[in-house]
Chain A
Amino acid sequence: MEGITNQNGMEPVLRFIDVSVSYTPGVYAVKNVSTAIYPNTITAVMGPSGCGKSTLLRAINRMHDLYANIKTTGQIILKGKDVLKTDPMEVRRMAGMVFQQPNPFPTMSIYDNVLAGYKLNGIKLNKEEKDEIVEDSLRNVALWNEVKDAMNKRGSFLSGGQQQRLCIARALALKPEVLLMDEPTSALDPISTNRIEELLLELRKQYSMLIVTHNMSQAARISDNSMFMYLGELVEHNNTKQMFTKPRNRRTEEYLTGVFG
């Protein structure tokens, strides 16, 4: 797959080697996926419903461990560490996750929401460190000016788009290696979606991101590379421009042109 952006001369941030995920023994939601994600790129993960894109994403930060019936096999290497052989709590701190539905913690203030990762992990910080992390993270998601005078208000009072940016700030506060996003704008209005997309392009300078999306024009707008999955298999992974203009695989082309979806 020679076309992938930032492939040349860079160590991949994330490498999948023969990764499979099954919900019931013998039935695979993700089948033998092998590929790599390179630094400072946005990679869109596309495919029809049920193709395994969210399942693949959630394998990275071991969310599947929360459900006894889900088994992940193969190797996922995040910054040189084999995720499946590392303590899941450590993996999850290295891989921030943003969910489809904005989920700020309703019992915490905006300030505490940003610091939730530290609080939950029992990491003690002094007041200055806290203030600095909160301000940096909120500035990173362009939310600082909107909420700086409402730090003690609950996060659930914000609009949907602001809540989602707060959730991104919460993930960034832990300084992760990679940001995993599972349809982060599908519950938001077009204006909020637009703001989040701009934000992701800005964040690309510091982070590598994977974004599961149903929205092909979103993938075209913001992603450097795209993965197309179908029936649990990774059909194609290439730079987005090339994939949208000259897909290598007939399935990819059919999906992108709306033959199925």
Chain B
Amino acid sequence: MKDKIFRFLLFLAAVLILLLTAGIVYALVSRSTEAFGEYGIWSFIVNPEWDPRPATEEYGAMSFILGTLYTAFFALFLCIPFSFSVALFNGEYFKGMKISSAVRSVVDLLAGIPSIVYGLWGFYTIRPLIIDLGINAQGFGIFLSSVVLAIMIIPYASSLSTEFLSMVPNNLKEGAYSLGATRIEVIRHISIPSSLPGIVASYILALGRALGETMAVTMLIGNTDRIPQGLRDTGNTMASVIANQFGEADGFKLSSLIAIGLLLFVITAIINMIAKLIMKRVSRL
């Protein structure tokens, strides 16, 4: 009897989570129909205009989609050399040693720092640096956001790729050593090729994090509603435009912001799905 009740409670909890997710999707979809209905889904996506002036009111998502892609991909690009070295350090060279668990804890700590703290640090420490370097007069923009974002996603990219690197069977590595290979040759020809799909998947997951990151980016990107003209320019990401403008928005504008939220949700869901699919294939090998 007790067992039956417990099973029922578990079942209830599972159904509740499904309903909750469905509810979120429903709320997003129902409240974005106004915008999608007015412009059409495709024209809303590709339209780069974001003009809230009542006389010429017009909303499109393209500026923010591009802003998001620029920031996230540039952050990913900046993050790769660092997270890859961390992964090699922890998963190969110093695997199982004290120094490796120390580095691992510090990197994990990076993941625990609240986004707003990164934002403050970027604002008061990195922004002046960017001004001094002459990258951009105000400091704000894609470049600043990407630098801070890159640091924020290092733990996600590195901890998973460390796992995949350390999963390379010892058997294979010993086989390569027994043929006279040096350590660097074993890493290049055996460890990296065998764990490559997993490493790629961890970078895709890190990209997913970067796409949705809001607070720090909102504080650093400069919040301009147009397509960024390069990495030094200011802009807005899908997440930052919502955070920045939802408070004073109503009507079409609010519906357009929610539609952007829905698009962001779909994009990150697809990205995560791709990463999970790759990982599933890796673990089956």
Contact = CB atoms under 8 A, between A and B. Distances in A.
Given A90-B180, A93-B180, A119 B189 contact: yes
A174 to B, nearest CB: 7
Interface residues of B, number: 19
At the interface, is chain B mostly helix, strand, loop or mixed? helix
A31 interface: no
A24 to B, nearest CB: 16
Interface stretch (B67-75, B158-166, B167-175, B237-245): B167-175
A101 B177 CA distance: 15
Interface in A52-73: 61, 63, 66
Contacts of A105: 172, 175-176, 189-190, 194
B175 A117 contact: no
Contacts of A101: 171
A58 to B, nearest CB: 9
Contact of B181 (A90, A120, A170, A171): A120
Chain A CB within 10 A, most for which of B177, B186, B190, B194: B177
Nearest to B193: A107
A121 to B, nearest CB: 5
B285 interface: yes
A63 B181 contact: no
Contacts, number: 67
A117 B177 CA distance: 9
B194 A120 contact: no
A63 B178 contact: yes
Interface string A58-100: 0001010010000000000000000000000110110011010
Contacts of B189: 105, 116, 119-120
B178 A89 contact: no
Contacts of B180: 89-90, 92-93, 117, 120-121, 174
B51 interface: no
B141 to A, nearest CB: 41
Contacts of A103: 169, 171-172, 174-175
A103 B190 CA distance: 12
Contacts of B179: 92-93, 96, 116-117, 120-121, 170-171, 174
B182 interface: yes
Contact of A89 (B169, B182, B190, B193): B182
Contacts of A120: 176, 179-181, 185-186, 189-190
B175 A99 contact: yes
B177 to A, nearest CB: 6
B185 A122 contact: yes
B185 to A, nearest CB: 5
Contacts of A122: 185
| Top 5 A-B residue pairs of the complex, sorted by shortest distance between their CB atoms | A120-B181, A93-B180, A97-B178, A117-B179, A107-B193
7 contacts: A63-B174, A92-B178, A105-B175, A105-B189, A107-B190, A116-B189, A171-B178
